[in-house]
Amino acid sequence: MQTNEIIGLENKYHMNLYNRIPLVLERGNGVYLYDNEGNCYLDFAAGIAVNSLGHNDPDVTKAIKDQAEKLIHGSNLYHYESQNKLAKILVGNSSADRVFFANSGAEANEAALKLTRRYFYNQNQPKHEIIVADRSFHGRTLATLAATDRPKYQKPFQPLPTGFKVVPFNDLKAAEDAITPETAAIMVEPVQGEGGVRPASQDYLTGLRKLADEKNILLIFDEVQTGIGRTGHFFAHQAYGVEPDIFTSAKALGNGVPISALLAKEKVAKSFQPGDHATTYGGNPLVCSAALATVNKIIQPDFLSSVRETGQYLKESLENLSEEVSWLGPVRGMGLLLAVKTGDKTKELMTALRKQGILVLTAGEDLLRFAPPLIIKKEEIDQFIKVFKSLVKDPAFNRINL
Ligand SMILES: *Cc1c(COP(=O)(O)O)cnc(C)c1O
């Protein structure tokens, strides 16, 4: 089919929910993507921080093929070796004791909220309020939308579940002041993703842990974007040395197959009993085999240290550029989740990069976000920087107001 024919079908048959980029992606290999017209793109987006091992990783592809030939799905009425091996790895390499597999980030977060309710219900305590941070993003279901600080997105869907209180991110005092006898949990992203790639400060997360302990409330980390190696650590909470009571994982977990996880400490996890929560597909053998192959590679210390190294290299390269070009704002982020403030020309820069064969993300309206596959090499970062540099130094982009 011709490109315009394919895009025409979207316009005719899909609900009008995405402002898609006019590219028809057809295949990928490593850090490169190819469209249906044979054009090649260097991928600095990895889906949306999803394909951490890049595209067509031989081990993940083989795991999917082998599993598809054996059994795709069988429901959570039965046991699966891949599901249990994956559970063991996630628990053995994080602060959690138990896991529940779901299909998407929002679903894992929704389950985290249900687990919180169940925990306090079991204690005969009526706590139900959740403190969240400004510019948070936790998903698009009704409850996770209520937890997301986007009044504009929330408005058409009211009434939303109540009990969410928004406080400024990285402000420990504000979190402390917001706690009432009704407060059940504080939920934050260790590095805010959609809200602008803002890492939590060490004092903030350490302080929240202490606060949660003192006030008998739960600490929930949404690691949907930061988990599975993205920050150069298997989970971001390990970089901070702070153990949440509950955390969630999704995006990179299956390198592109839909799988997410809710993880929790035993004292909390044990509040769930059969019937409290469930999913039809969640953690089926197909996605668990893909996730197992993914996690087995990312968990390797050499792999994670190389993510820290390339992340640092990309950060420094961007910082050098930001120093040279007056209108580029500061660089922020952690590992290979980075962003630079590009002001009101963000969209134009993203388009210009694509036309030169590089795909990036935005975060909000004034930041370019970079989340390449974690296997990216320094030479490929150089390749990106060269193109990015020529663009930001182009006089056409010099009149940008931040
Ligand atoms: C992407 C994201 C979500 C939502 O994940 P979905 O799979 O789209 O439901 C939730 N929280 C964070 C931090 C995310 O980055």
pLDDT tens digit at each of 402 positions of the chain: 999 999 999 999 999 999 999 999 999 999 999 999 999 999 999 999 999 999 999 999 999 999 999 999 999 999 999 999 999 999 999 999 999 999 999 999 999 999 999 999 999 998 999 999 999 999 999 999 999 999 889 999 999 999 999 999 999 999 999 999 999 999 999 999 999 999 999 999 999 999 999 999 999 999 999 999 999 999 999 999 999 999 999 999 999 999 999 999 999 999 999 999 999 999 999 999 999 999 999 999 999 999 999 999 999 999 999 999 999 999 999 999 999 999 998 999 999 999 999 999 999 889 999 999 999 999 999 999 999 999 999 887 766 554
The annotation status of 223 as a binding-site residue, yes or no, is yes
**CA dist list (Å): 383 to 39, 43, 316, 360, 389:** 17, 11, 15, 14, 10
Q: Output the CA 393–ligand 1 centroid distance in Å.
A: 34
DSSP for 45-78 reads SHHHHT-TT-BS-HHHHHHHHHHHHH-S---TTS
Report pLDDT for 380: 98
Report pLDDT for 401: 52
Evaluate whether 3-56+301-397 and 71-298 have a shared fold. Answer: no
Write down the pTM of the prediction.
0.97
Q: Is 110 in the pocket of ligand 1 (CB under 6 A)?
A: no
Q: Nearest to residue 107, comparing CAs of 255, 262, 291?
A: 262
**Best mutation site among 110, 194, 246 for ligand 1, i.e. most ligand atoms within 8 A of its Cβ?**
194
CA atoms of 64 and 302, how far apart (whole Å): 25
Report pLDDT for 397: 76
Query: What's the CATH code, domain 71-298?
Result: 3.40.640.10
Q: Is 106 in the pocket of ligand 1 (CB under 6 A)?
A: yes
Report pLDDT for 399: 61
Report pLDDT for 126: 83
Q: Output the CA 248–ligand 1 centroid distance in Å.
A: 10
- 104 contact partners, CB below 8 Å, separation of at least 6: 139, 250, 258, 260
CA atoms of 114 and 109, how far apart (whole Å): 9
- How would you write 101-155 as a 3-class SS string? EECCHHHHHHHHHHHHHHHHHHCCCCCCEEEEECCCCCCCCHHHHHCCCCHHHHH
Q: Domain extents for the chain?
A: 3-56+301-397, 71-298
Q: Class of 3-56+301-397 per CATH?
A: alpha beta
Residue at token pair 């869907």 = 157
Residue at token pair 């949990």 = 185
